[in-house]
A = this chain, B = another copy of it.
Amino acid sequence: QAVRSLFKALMLREKYSKLAYHRFCRTTSQFLRSAENLIWNIEDEVLPDMLPCPAVGEDPYSMNNIPENLNYELKMRNGIVCVYEDGEALKNDQPTDLPYPDLETYAIDLSELLTMIADGPTKTYCHRRLNFLSSKFHLHEILNETAELKELKSIPHRDFYNVRKVDTHIHAAACMPQKHLLTFIQERYKTDKDRVVLEKDGQEMTLQQVFHSLSMDAYDLTVDSLDVHAGRQTFHRFDKFNSKYNPMGASELREIFLKTDNYLNGEYFARIIKEVASDLEESKYQYAEPRLSIYGRSTDEWNSLAKWFIQQKLHSPNMRWMIQVPRIYDIFKAKNLVTNFAKVLENIFLPLFKATVNPQTHKELFVFLKYISGFDSVDDETKHSNHMFSYRSPKPEQWTTRDNPPYSYYIFYMYGNIMVLNNLRKERGLNTFQFRPHCGEAGSITHLVSAFLTADNISHGLNLKKSPALQYLYYLAQIPIAMSPLSNNSLFLEYSKNPLREFLHKGLCVSLSTDDPMQFHYTKEPLMEEYAIAAQLWKLSTCDVCEIARNSVLQSGLSHQEKKYFLGVNYLKDGHEGNDIRRTNVAQIRMAYRHETLCNELSFIADAVKSEAMISH
């Protein structure tokens, strides 16, 4: 029974993943087919389109070669953007032949999963398997530690310092360490103090006037007075943490230095990000996936962000961009900026569909989207929602109360729109997007269930600690998890209690990321600091940290070409075949161990399902 449930859960995830061009672990897929007595076929595999961009020699911001308009009609229906061939089709409500998700199916799938992970025998089974995985790895370590090390020593020219590492979870507005931000502000003050940088209450203000109004001399500024670093005060206080985004507690400085859409057209913010990018490029082996915000407050946000990106020339070979959408409908509603939840979704997604069907009329956004690899959903997960999500929940157009929709509701509508959009874009040969929400940092376990269906991969995942069944499912499906133990340490969970090490041992696909260097890190190399602390504290071996680095590349939105180069040409194959040790510095012994172990776990499920089917025949 337990195994049957797990099988069903994996089948569900596979369905959702394929629909959205999300990745689904090949080995897992092969075992699912074998359980169904079907032949797995490589052609059935769905892969995201993360196109290498720009092409060699191409101007990254070029607006040539933009495809023709299709002149389709677009309309949001039940919170999902629908695509129509023409006005006629729109009138008859006959959308084009794309898969459209519906809330009812999702609600039912979700509730089925929720029942399953709460089932006693299933929990016991998963708990025992996880314990087994843990002990097995411990044994592997004792027996093969030296052999792994020997393998790594024999590989020329590759070590932990020159394997590729991707900072899989980092917010653009906090991507620079505090000292960097401080120096940047002071430099700007030195050169630009008489420049008008802000318009406040209709009054133009120079940088000097701004500092004057805050009764502060920029030269005297210190990281103490800047006060952007998290500390003991922020533990379990997400609100206090959020206010740390305001240098000196002054929203003016955030507006001037950390916003894209301000009096300076985001010039300062762009400059400091480019400084961070150039540090990454210099390091050569470090990459980052910074998040930029789209709020859904107004229809114009995308154009403005795209303009900023292109005008400020923000592309860097060592950065891939993500869009984060904060879950703050309730704030907009309270301010009367939107009438219902559908309006927020429309503001977020309609422009993307427009730029996809009619790129000629949305050139900047069209170009910008080439550099976006996915979407993130962000906010404090402990925030309580009064609404109990079910298939009877109101549709977004009917969501007019001041209450914020619950996490699972948000997640569904983000997934749904991304899914339709990806199908549309795939048809046009454009890059697709991954949905990579913050999930399981805190709050209800339901979050992790919704992401199990809808996400390509997640950030945090701490709460998997609390549900053996879900943890085991995340293992079986090899869902990548970007973990940030230093961030957790300041916000939700002490370092020593962080499950990263345990997850890694069991074989979950975990990577390391910084989240917010401005708030958490001390050195000039935040990602290395994150790795160093994990390695020191948990006594990770070189093979361990290189495995984490490899996972980070796998999880990232880097293109197929880049992954081939960084991991080995066969990286899509699982196990040691897919690993080029000369690129990854992960021992083949480790790769073989991981693969065999996963196959072993999956075979229990496949065999049980098969034999059950035989009996019932």
Contacts and interface: CB of A to CB of B under 8 A. Distances in A.
B525 A153 contact: no
A486 interface: yes
Contacts of A221: 156-157
Interface string A460-504: 000000000000000000000000001001000001100000000
B536 A486 contact: yes
B522 A153 contact: no
A224 interface: yes
A149 interface: yes
Given A529-B529, A585-B224, A539 B231 contact: yes
Interface stretch (A41-49, A158-166, A342-350): A158-166
**Chain A residues touching B, range:** 35 or more
B522 A219 contact: no
Interface string A17-40: 000000000000000000000000
A179 B157 contact: no
For the complex, would chain A's binding face be called helix, strand, loop or mixed by DSSP majority?
A: helix
A598 B533 CA distance: 34
A160 B225 CA distance: 11
Nearest to A534: B522
Interface string A417-430: 00000000000000
Given A158-B224, A159-B225, 19 more contacts: A145-B232, A156-B217, A156-B219, A157-B219, A157-B220, A157-B221, A158-B222, A159-B222, A160-B224, A231-B539, A495-B536, A521-B532, A522-B532, A522-B536, A523-B523, A523-B532, A529-B532, A533-B537, A537-B537
| 6 closest A-B pairs by CB | A156-B220, A159-B222, A522-B532, A159-B223, A152-B224, A153-B225
16 contacts: A149-B224, A155-B222, A156-B217, A156-B221, A159-B223, A159-B224, A160-B223, A160-B224, A161-B223, A162-B222, A224-B585, A495-B536, A495-B537, A520-B536, A522-B532, A522-B536
